[in-house]
Structure 1
Amino acid sequence: MSGAALAPVPGRADPGLSLGCQPQTAEVAEVCRLMREVIVAATPGRPVQMIDAELFPETTMAVRLHVERLKKDAIAVHLEWRRPGAAWQRDETRVLNVMDRDLSAPMIARFFETVWGESPAGK
């Protein structure tokens, strides 16, 4: 049933999804871009706009990526989401640690594919 809530209403344009990231730093902006790419790939044809994490329109599915920790060898994040007219919900914290190397953009993107795919926000 949760997937039905994301389907556009016949005869109306899909207002899409709004994505914001916290904290608002240059490093988080880069990983936020990776999360947007993952969401766009998982929801073809659905608009995904980047927006200030506190200024979501009421008419769109809203997602916030909270980066709890970002180091050269680890990232910890959680998602929050809200469907139109509903309260914010929070997913569990997910962590990716690597040994003997630094995190790369492709590693983080694969991690985000799992985070998005397993989150109720992505269903």
Structure 2
Amino acid sequence: MSDVIFDIDFQKDCQVTTARVTIGSKQSGNVTKKLWNYALDRPCQHFVLGPILLESFNLTNNCKIPTGKYKIHLNMKEKAIMFLGTNFFYGIFDFKIMAYNKINNFFCVHAVMFIKKH
């Protein structure tokens, strides 16, 4: 699973104020060992999530999504490798990514993928 497609329709301008990224490694017996649990209060400035939000929604630094319809293609494996690298982190990983504010949940992705050691 690499390409996730979002069709999102924003009825009004929405500020992205918070995001959460949870990463775990899959162990034997399908048990997930949580590695990181990030709560981001400035998601547009995060080194991985920021560029995704800025490019996908044509945002400025204020992290406000203008009213409109958006079709977003997100290569989860590429973003996971950007986040983790491949030298020390390889195997099966579990990613959960959410972006939201106090009123709206913009997107929520749960992906499990295999990352090969290079």
* TM-score range normalised by the length of the shorter chain: 0.3 to 0.5
Name the one with the larger strand percent: 2
TM-score, with structure 2 as normaliser: 0.37
- Which one scores higher on RCO, CA 8 angstroms, separation ≥ 6? 2
TM-score, with structure 1 as normaliser: 0.36
